[in-house]
Chain A
């Protein structure tokens, strides 16, 4: 049984579209991260959150602890947003789990 499920697995969007990536988990968590991985492997930590909502530029991350669900939104998507987006979390036993990632391609 997977502790974390991400959807969709793959996503293609036109430049300017609003994008949503979802992450659902089945265990109690302490914190949830959203990571961005570009081709070549480099990973950037976008957000870490344990409640509510955070915004950075065109990126917004939300988490609903009761529903065990988090979303990453990208407003006005751009080709440079093309990457794999991964959610990851610490469960209450201090184990760190990663989602399988959502591969996003934004077409000009």
Chain B
């Protein structure tokens, strides 16, 4: 079974631009959670989607948004990029609803650099 895939793996943007990251979960998994990892803040939970609905959200500004499609693939969007948004963005999928409540399988991450 293929693992969680994320595209692109690396991305360079400039301040003020927007970016869309994609995550394809393991086949059959319906929950996708997104995380941000920075050297200063460590890992932080962004949000979780299940059956195309956002079920849980971390403490991030509205510039961070996401969505999930009917095939469970998920996208994350960051608008008006700031230097501090430079990070590794990880997604994780799980079989049932509740993201962090369940065993999660992580993708390799997308490394975003904002210049």
**B 10-45 binary contact with A (CB < 8 Å = 1; else 0):** 000000000000000000000000000100001111
User: Which residues of A are found within 8 Å of B111, using beta-carbon distances?
Assistant: 41
Judging by beta carbons under 8 Å apart, are A42 and B109 in contact? Answer: yes
- Residue positions of B touching A, CB distance < 8 A: 37, 42-45, 56, 58-59, 88, 90, 92, 99-106, 108-109, 111
User: Which residues of B are found within 8 Å of A99, using beta-carbon distances?
Assistant: 42
Q: Choose among B43, B101, B106 the residue that contacts A44 (Cβ–Cβ < 8 A).
A: B106
- Residue positions of A touching B, CB distance < 8 A: 30-31, 33, 40-45, 48, 86, 88, 90, 94-96, 98-101
Q: Of all chain A residues, which has the CB nearest B109?
A: A41
Instruction: Tell me the complex Cα distance, A90–B102, Å.
Output: 11
Instruction: Tell me the complex Cα distance, A100–B107, Å.
Output: 20
User: Which residues of A are found within 8 Å of B106, using beta-carbon distances?
Assistant: 42-45
Q: Choose among A40, A86, A88, A100 the residue that contacts B100 (Cβ–Cβ < 8 A).
A: A88
Q: List 4 extra interface pairs beyond A31-B101, A33-B100, A40-B108, CB under 8 A.
A: A41-B37, A41-B109, A45-B105, A90-B101
